[in-house]
Structure 1
Amino acid sequence: MFPPRLARYKPTQLRAVSRPAPATAAEQQKRLVGLLPIMASPTTCLKDHASRCGFVRPLLQLLVAAAAAAVLLPSVHGVASAGEQKISSIFLFGDSIVDPGNNNNRFTEAKANFPPYGRDFPGGVATGRFSNGLVPGDLLASKLGIKELLPPFLSDDLELKDLLSGVAFACGGSGYDPLTSKLATTLSSTDQLELFNDYKKKLTALVGEEEMTRVISEGVFLTVMGANDIVNNYFTLPLRRHEYDLPSYVDFLVSSAINFTKSLNDMGAKRIGFVGVPPLGCCPSQITLAGSPSRQCEPLRNEASELFNSRISTEIERLNAERSAFGSTIVYFDIYYNLLDLIQNPALYGFKEVSEGCCGSTVLNAAIFIAYHSACPNAIDYIFWDGFHPTQKAYNIVVDKLIQQNMKYLM
């Protein structure tokens, strides 16, 4: 692994643009938003009026941005107001399971913006998603009728409509334990909250504080972390094992996760889905580490997953009871048994391989360690794409289950 390095993230560059549409309002929006980069340029001011530019240009920028947002908002949220869509935006925090490319410009091993990743993504492009195709954030956004892809917040080409309908702050290698992100030289869970705060400032600058507050309060927030803490920080590189026994470390993680969730709620998120950890002992890399000749799931890692999920679900239920009086809903999502069902009953879902990864089955068969390596030709038969991450097909099935079981609580 690369040596720990706490590099900071790059400021996101925004381009407030929209797709052309035949409607008069959409044409008006396109013209207005198109003025923003022009107004931002000092060359648009006449030389003999340069003294007025310092006041006029910022004022025009603000007016144009506000007018553009006013035209754009009905096209993004109109469906919801008509009662046909109850969720208009989605935001994800977490690790590589839901990272769509926030680590692409970082010096870290936890990145996936190269083949064979993205082989089955639209256009066959490796975008930084840790799978052969779409990841859970994309699938959730699409199935909920919000948009087809959930972009990374640290993308250089975000558009205004992306900010209004949601982004992902997740970073591969992250966790609730601060040490976990240091080991992977990635952004921590606290850093992701800082990104969210940056997002709020950018959206406020474009549409105003009232509209920003509405987007946040009506959006759905999901957090998907904890796997790296248990697998990498406790078992694979047993640094924390020298400080904690397993129950004590799980208590530490649960406390950190609850503090993260409280902070997210305090920052304006009203509808929060907390996703537990999967059966980590069933990841191909963990089976390989355990040395099971029969390729069975490693029991101790699964016990750690179950212990964390049991304790965090209890704490999430308690937190929801405390904060529901203030208009918040915080729900625990079970991913453990939903994924385990695929592993234990593969034929029911059309899978043939449950313990091997399409790209390999060791801890080095993932992330930068498999850059430009070959993969199996038939990913549709596999539950796992690499040593840690499921395939798009497996994600798709699990996301369907999560929506069916839980989203009614966040509507």
Structure 2
Amino acid sequence: MWPPDDPDDRDERPVTRILLVNALPLAGVLLLDWNVAALVVLYWLEVGVVLWWALAVAPFAERPSAYPEEQAISGAFRYRRGGVSIPRTGLEIRVHNLPVVAIGAAGFGLAWLVLALLTVGFLGNSPSAARLTEPERLLSLAAFGMVTFASHGASTLSTYVFDRRYRECSAQEPVKAAVFPLMAIGTIVAVVGPAVEATGSGLPLLVGIVFAKFLVDLVIAYWDRIRGFDAKTGGWLGVSDDDSPAWDSGPLEDVPSRPDVTIRPRRLGVVIDGTARGFSTGVAAFALLVAVVLLALGASASILLIVALSLGLVAVVGLVDRSLRYWWMEYRIHEADGGNGRGCLVVFDRLLGEPQWRLEPRHLASAIRESSRVDRLLGTTTIAVELARQERTIRLAHLTESDARRVLEAFGGSEETDASRADAAARSG
């Protein structure tokens, strides 16, 4: 389930839900003569329910996830504004959460299927599994599954939506919260389940499985208390860290509507840079090394086709990454903003139809030229903008020389912002 954010307000609800969910399998063991196969199926289904609800609420998180901004493809989404609003709810499926949801769905979905092979598949030919096809057992299992889905859903929606927890967390938090039940419940059904089956599914051991599952749920319910305790005791448990940075992912306010100058990156630079970055990754170097070794050992020349496909794949990844970052970007310069004599630059994403950043001279620590190999090849320039109050760098890539001068002039300098203003901004931050 979703770990509660304020234990003082949520002491009762998690315990009530836990008692309800864990009372049902215990009643099944005591009253309906459930066996280990039934418990394995039930807990496997519950793992799937936990994963489902974690991925269902993750897209609404407002804070960016804590992964490197330089990471291929997913890093391009980290500080990206925009999304799809759900009418009459105040919720928005935010585009910066899509990589976490996609990776979580693929990775955890695969882990859930592997868990099925290790548990449900292991018991498939056992006598206890054969009894699952009895109508009354199928009906009771279906009823338990519906109660579990509704219980986890009510708890997650109450904490995440109605208590507006989504405003304070990143998409990684609910997905990370699903890792513990996946591992803990998976261990219970994978290790204890076969042992119980080998001993004839004795009642004491079956009750022991239910009790172990109850303890797992208690840990999940009081996860925030555990994290708080870990933070106060020096972090020796390693669960208190929260690297999710603060960032307002909502739409920008007071964005001027009519720019004086509109600048776009040179697209040939985006294509060449993306392809080159793909080839320069460790994957490409590893593929070439493997090919050389295999050819030296007498492998067929067809290995070169596999290497070519691998290189093509990494080139596509690099190209997609650079395109998401720069292809649809537009830099809109406003020479006068609100009559105060200061210019501003709005970074606008034409793909999403959303302004991403509004940059004024007072927001900057520095704005300097950078020249990559692609820039030198094409005669373009990249402007690296350091924000004064955030440890962030925004790059305006592959600009022509005249466009680069316009950008620097909008920031108050003919070539680059002077060092005295950068020092003053750093001291004020």
Fold match, TM over 0.5? no
Structure showing greater radius of gyration is 2
TM norm structure 2:
0.23
| Greater per-residue helix proportion | 2
